[in-house]
Structure 1
Amino acid sequence: MSDPTLLLDLIDFRSFSNLWYWIALCVIWSSASHWVLGVPHDMVSRAKRHGGQAQEDLELLVRINTDRMLFHSREYGPWLVGIATFILAMLLTLAALYDSEFALALLLIMAPLFVLFYLSLRAALLIEGGEGRGEALFRRLFLTRLMVQGLGMVSIFVAAMVGMYVNLTHFIPQ
């Protein structure tokens, strides 16, 4: 009546040959570079261009987001680091020892996101330490966005190289 392999055929765990993996990867990094510290880039541009109320709104939103991020990191930091380390170790083990392409694909998405979290936390600490107003805030948001874009480009490049290698090794007869 129903073939049990049909479901597995519909859910393809060969991630690197799946268009949705690449779309998701690009959307993740596009969003990450647009929303630095939870603030959209167009809001930063408008505040820098017009000043006044737009700049006050930006400073308030950055303060709210950084305070929230720092509260959670101080309150739950060790737990978050432990859970993140466990997840990364699990994915690395599944990818390396058990040859799981799905785990490797998730690892190539999640590992750079943990680096992104570190960059955001570092920027939040610097903003809390005195870079939360005026030109210093614009500079910090610009530098953080630049680092996020660089990390995204490296992440996509590494994922593409690994994906090509995995796809090529699946088609080479052994």
Structure 2
Amino acid sequence: MDLQQTIFEQIDMRSFSNLWFWIALAVLWSTASHWVLGVPHDMVARARKIEGQAQVDLEDVVRVNVNRLIYIVQVSGLWLLGFVCFLITGLGILGFIYDVEFAQAVFLLAFPMTILGLMSYNAALQIYHQDLSGEPLRARLMRHRVHTQILGVISIFCTALWGTYQNASFGAL
């Protein structure tokens, strides 16, 4: 038996029938909604409840992450955008034109995360330009978290629909 064939039998490249894909999808979105702009949700909740030093810590972490994100986009934004567009387009063509299920699965993970990246950059710009602190900062972070969760629900729903269609259509093959 060929080594490549053995590896692919163990990995099961049929992504939508693989439990690990669905676990990865759930972990991806739960992590994305917990870590908004690189700030854990419990830190925002603690700053709302306690204020004082917890609020100062929140503002420091947000400032560092917002400045970092804006710097990355300023320095390599166009190259990064081009590479991500190339990657997403390649995955989309491989997955949906050439019917490669693994590429479909990666596309359904990566495309919504690309949208989330743009949403995060927009939120970072708003926080930076409006110099938010205190309650307006917490409100902006919570609004971004809700938008992230909405995007996650839509993404999981669309992925589940497509995965169900794939499993129902090609499960008998």
| TM-score between both structures, scaled by the size of structure 2 | 0.96
Residue 105 of structure 2: aligned partner: 105
Counterpart check, 1:128 vs 2:108: no
- Contact 1:62/1:132 (<8 A) preserved: no
For residue 135 of structure 1, report the CA deviation from its aligned partner. Answer: 1.3
Unaligned runs of 5+ in 2: none
Q: Which moved more, 1:82-91 or 1:5-14?
A: 5-14
SS in 1 for 2:48: helix
For residue 3 of structure 1, report the CA deviation from its aligned partner. Answer: 3.8
For residue 97 of structure 1, report the CA deviation from its aligned partner. Answer: 1.9
Distance 2:30 2:171 in 1: 31
Alignment of 1:24-173 (within 5 A): 24-171=24-171
For residue 46 of structure 1, report the CA deviation from its aligned partner. Answer: 0.4
C-alpha RMSD of matched pairs (Å): 1.1
Distance 1:96 1:34 in 2: 31
CA deviation string 1:145-174 (max 9, x = no partner): 00000000110010000000000001357x
Residue 13 of structure 2: aligned partner: 13
Distance 2:96 2:112 in 1: 18
Distance 1:93 1:17 in 2: 21
What percent identity do the matched residue pairs reach? 47
Q: 1:134 to 1:159 in 2, by over 3 A?
A: same
SS in 2 for 1:129: helix
SS in 2 for 1:103: helix
CA deviation string 1:47-93 (max 9, x = no partner): 01111000000001000000000000111000010000000110011
- Contact 1:63/1:132 (<8 A) preserved: no
Q: 1:68 to 1:149 in 2, by over 3 A?
A: same
Unaligned runs of 5+ in 1: none
Residue 23 of structure 2: aligned partner: 23
CA deviation string 1:89-136 (max 9, x = no partner): 100110122110000000000000000001100000000011520111
Letter in 2 for 1:122: N
SS in 2 for 1:162: helix
Q: Which moved more, 1:17-26 or 1:93-102?
A: 93-102
Distance 1:146 1:47 in 2: 18
